[in-house]
Structure 1
Amino acid sequence: MQYHIRPMKLADLDAIFDIQASVYHSDLLESQAFYENRLQLSANTCWVATTEKNQLLGYLISYPWIRTFPPALGEVLATLPEHADSWFVHDCAISPSTQGLGVGKALFITARNSAIEQGFRHSSLVSLAQATHYWLNQGYIAVDNTPQLTEKLAAYGEGACYMHQEMTV
């Protein structure tokens, strides 16, 4: 299957919600307001993979953040942190019908290269328990939990792990 990676648009949100609902438990689903907010604040760090007929296969939401702690799940923000020092990968989800075809990796590489071009040299993310192995294979390492971090991660579900990596060109 051929696909291409392009910047996310507001018109993609309905298809994104369909993918989100097909891969996540209902208590992890984020609102339309959340996605609109991240697109408004950081459109140049949000990506989709589509077929030639513009069928959405997957998406990646990311934005500048501070590496110390992850943002709260689903929180709508007034602004991004003024002194953001990390490229935060908030969500990368692939339609179940196209998993295993390299779509996620292509989205990640495109987004990562763009983040490096924007000057980011550090990346962070919250891995859900079932995805930790995948992110370890992408070069991320787990951050040691503190009580404050454990409290932040609780909303992401049991076994969620805050991870980071230094990015090189």
Structure 2
Amino acid sequence: MLASDVDGILDAQTLAYPDFLPESAEFFLNRLQLAPDHCWVACAPDSSTLLGYLVSYPWDAGLPPSLGVALTALPSPAKHWFVHDCAVVPRAQGHGVAQSLLQTGAARAMQSGLRRASLVSLQSAVGYWLRHGYRPVSAMDGMRDLADKLAGYGPDARYMTRDFPL
């Protein structure tokens, strides 16, 4: 991912998400600045048309980051690969774009020494993530503030994790 991809990413997230969820160009630039080796785009082979993107970064094993909030630094040491956002434009869905982005990102995360993956899933995508080995983490698992963090992601959002390899 490059800074010049952000306009295409903003267009893609508008197609992929409900109106309350899209994040700003500043958010994407913040994550790209902090973790350039963990942010990816997929483009059509015959053009530079953006088909999907993955924003991820090293994270700790605690609560997920707040939605839309700039980070000043990444945690160190980091144990998790946090998949903040993986979106595919509707016309490219079902063609393996998300799988390719996630495999590429996971390979990089494992090369970086990260041993677990985590993400926040919207309710509509929970089944997808379950099929890929992710399991929900509940507030009962020692994360009392989890419900507050998830509220910004929309109703019925779930914090999910899984071990590597994917």
Name the % identity: 46
Distance (whole Å) between structure 1 residues aligned to residue 82 and residue 101 of structure 2 = 14
The Cα of 1:168 is off from its aligned counterpart by: 2.6
Residue by residue over 1:61-92, the C-alpha shift from the partner in whole angstroms, topping out at 9 and shown as x without a partner, is: 00011121100001101111122211000000
Q: What is the alpha-carbon distance in structure 2 between the residues aligned to residue 168 and residue 31 of structure 1?
A: 31
- The residue aligned with 2:17 is 24
Letter in 1 for 2:85: D
Q: Which amino acid aligns with 1:124?
A: S
In structure 1, what is the Cα distance between the partners aligned to 2:108 and 2:41? 13
Deviation at 1:27, TM superposition (A): 1.1
1:36 to 17, 24, 29: 29
Q: Counterpart of 2:59?
A: 65
TM score, norm. by length of structure 1: 0.93
Unaligned runs of 5+ in 2: none
Distance 2:15 2:163 in 1: 31
Whether 1:148 aligns to 2:145 is yes
State the TM-score, normalizing by the size of structure 2.
Answer: 0.94
Aligned-partner Cα distance in 1 for 2:64–2:53:
20
CA distance in 2, matches of 1:103, 1:82: 31
CA deviation vs aligned residue, 1:94-150 (integer Å, no higher than 9, x gap): 011111111111111111111111111111000000000001111111002244101
- Find the aligned partners of 1:13 and 1:108 in 2 and give their Cα distance: 19
Superposition misfits of 4+ residues, deviation over 4 angstroms: none
Counterpart in the other structure of 1:126: 120
- Which residue of 2 is the match for residue 114 of structure 1? 108
Task: Report the Cα distance in structure 1 between the residues aligned to 2:95 and 2:60, rounded to whole angstroms.
Answer: 32
1:89 pairs with 2:86: no
Amino acid across the alignment from 2:32: L
RMSD of the alignment, in Å? 1.1
How far apart are residue 32 of structure 1 and its match? 0.8
Unaligned 5+ runs, structure 1: 1-7
